């Protein structure tokens, strides 16, 4: 239960980090908050030759408002959780961050680290996929912006190249009047959800659903959208039966695998129950416009 030998490289600017990543390539792992990487080291599931510690990089901790909330890769979960700015402009993001681990984990854990780690049960990737968020990556070759759907490639696997550093994560703000909900079931407070669902619902002036988003964590190798259920909702008039049938449609579209936390059947059942609750809650938050 002790980390293996590695060479420790502390960098103090993005450029320095990029130089080192270019030089060291896939021999190096970036160390941000360390709340996922250090356990992987201690359990000897990761064995990088170099750790590039970016904690002293000064300009990666921003929390910026706008039509898109932009979070620097090094912004800590706890800072986002306590940000009045985020609470006001993006209450769904605020609510989501509270589900991440415990206070001591959120004090160290970073937004960029969680996204780059790409655990399919983690909350932030589920939210990013729901919102069609974006990820900014830099390398000495340049800057590129990736859509969440193309960034998350599989279990703990992203489109980041070995010489790239994730520098910013972008969460589009919901259109005015849009309702939202996040529902998660976990065995213990602070654990990853067995199933997590993020839902947004918008209703037009005629009282019909104009847009619906349903995104699941914990049911596939990445976060996934329930697109068939989303399109089935659009144009419909909200009702208890509609939520029930959409939740059933969403759950049936999933093909989860089983592990010690739950069988595929159990996960599909949870997905249905949580989706229905999320749709009801999201609709309750809709301000018709």
Partner 1 sequence: MTMDMELTVNGSAYQVSADPRRTLADFLREDLRLTGTHLGCEHGVCGACTVMVDGSAVRSCLMLAVQADGCDVMTIEGLERDGQLHPLQESLRDCHSFQCGFCTPGFVMTALAMIEEGSAPASEEELRENLAGNLCRCTGYQSIVEGVIEAVRRTTDQSASAQGAVEKRVS
Which residues form the interface with partner 1 (CB under 8 A)?
1-8, 10, 31, 34-35, 38-39, 41-43, 51, 53, 55, 78, 101-105, 107-108, 188-190
Spatial separation of the C-alpha atoms in residues 103 and 98, rounded to whole Å:
9
Residue 188 or 260 with smaller CB distance to partner 1: 188
Q: Minimum CB separation from partner 1 for residue 37, in Å?
A: 9
Q: Minimum CB separation from partner 1 for residue 33, in Å?
A: 8
Q: Minimum CB separation from partner 1 for residue 104, in Å?
A: 5
Q: Minimum CB separation from partner 1 for residue 98, in Å?
A: 9
Q: Are 93 and 80 in contact (CB under 8 A)?
A: yes
Residue 123 or 249 with smaller CB distance to partner 1: 123
Residue 35 or 222 with smaller CB distance to partner 1: 35
- For residue 83, the Cα-to-chain-centroid distance in whole angstroms is 18
- Nearest Cα to Cα of residue 123 among 98, 152, 156: 98
Residue 41 or 278 with smaller CB distance to partner 1: 41
Residue 74 or 131 with smaller CB distance to partner 1: 74
Instruction: Categorise residue 119: left if φ over 0, alpha if ψ from -120 to 50, beta otherwise.
Output: beta
Query: What is the H or E stretch that residue 255 is in?
Result: none
Give 144's strand partners.
137
Spatial separation of the C-alpha atoms in residues 208 and 70, rounded to whole Å:
31
Q: Minimum CB separation from partner 1 for residue 108, in Å?
A: 5
| Dihedral angle, C-alpha 128, 133, 139, 143, nearest 10 ° | 180
- For residue 81, the Cα-to-chain-centroid distance in whole angstroms is 14
- The full length of the chain comes to 289
Residue 101 or 217 with smaller CB distance to partner 1: 101
| Dihedral angle, C-alpha 250, 132, 108, 77, nearest 10 ° | -80
Q: Minimum CB separation from partner 1 for residue 189, in Å?
A: 4
Could you tell me how many helices (H) and strands (E) the chain has, helices first? 12, 14
Q: Minimum CB separation from partner 1 for residue 51, in Å?
A: 7
Residue 41 or 93 with smaller CB distance to partner 1: 41
């Amino acid at each position: 239960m002790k980390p293996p030998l590695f060479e420790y490289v502390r960098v103090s600017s993005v450029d320095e980090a990029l130089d080192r990543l270019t030089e060291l390539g896939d021999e190096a792992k970036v160390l941000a908050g360390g709340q996922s990487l250090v356990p992987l080291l201690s359990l000897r599931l990761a064995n990088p030759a170099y750790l590039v510690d970016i904690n002293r990089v000064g300009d990666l901790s921003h929390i910026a408002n706008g039509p898109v909330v932009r979070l620097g890769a090094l912004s800590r979960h706890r800072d986002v959780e306590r940000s009045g700015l985020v609470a006001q402009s993006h209450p769904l993001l605020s609510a989501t961050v509270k589900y991440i681990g415990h206070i001591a984990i959120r004090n160290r854990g970073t937004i960029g680290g969680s996204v780059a780690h790409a655990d399919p049960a983690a909350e932030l990737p589920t939210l990013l996929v729901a919102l069609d968020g974006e990820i900014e990556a830099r390398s000495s070759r340049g800057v590129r912006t990736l859509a969440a759907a193309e960034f998350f490639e599989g279990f703990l696997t992203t489109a980041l190249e070995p010489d790239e550093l994730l520098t910013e994560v972008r969460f589009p703000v919901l259109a005015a009047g849009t309702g939202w909900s996040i529902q998660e079931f976990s065995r213990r407070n602070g654990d990853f959800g067995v199933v997590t669902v993020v839902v947004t619902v918008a209703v037009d002036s005629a009282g019909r659903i104009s847009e619906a988003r349903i995104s699941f964590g914990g049911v596939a190798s990445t976060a996934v959208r329930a697109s068939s259920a989303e399109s089935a909702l659009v144009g419909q008039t909200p009702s208890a039966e509609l939520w029930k049938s959409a939740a059933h449609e969403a759950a049936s579209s999933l093909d989860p695998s089983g592990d010690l936390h739950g069988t595929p059947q159990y996960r599909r059942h949870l997905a249905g129950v949580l989706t229905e609750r999320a749709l009801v809650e999201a609709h309750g938050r809709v301000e018709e416009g």
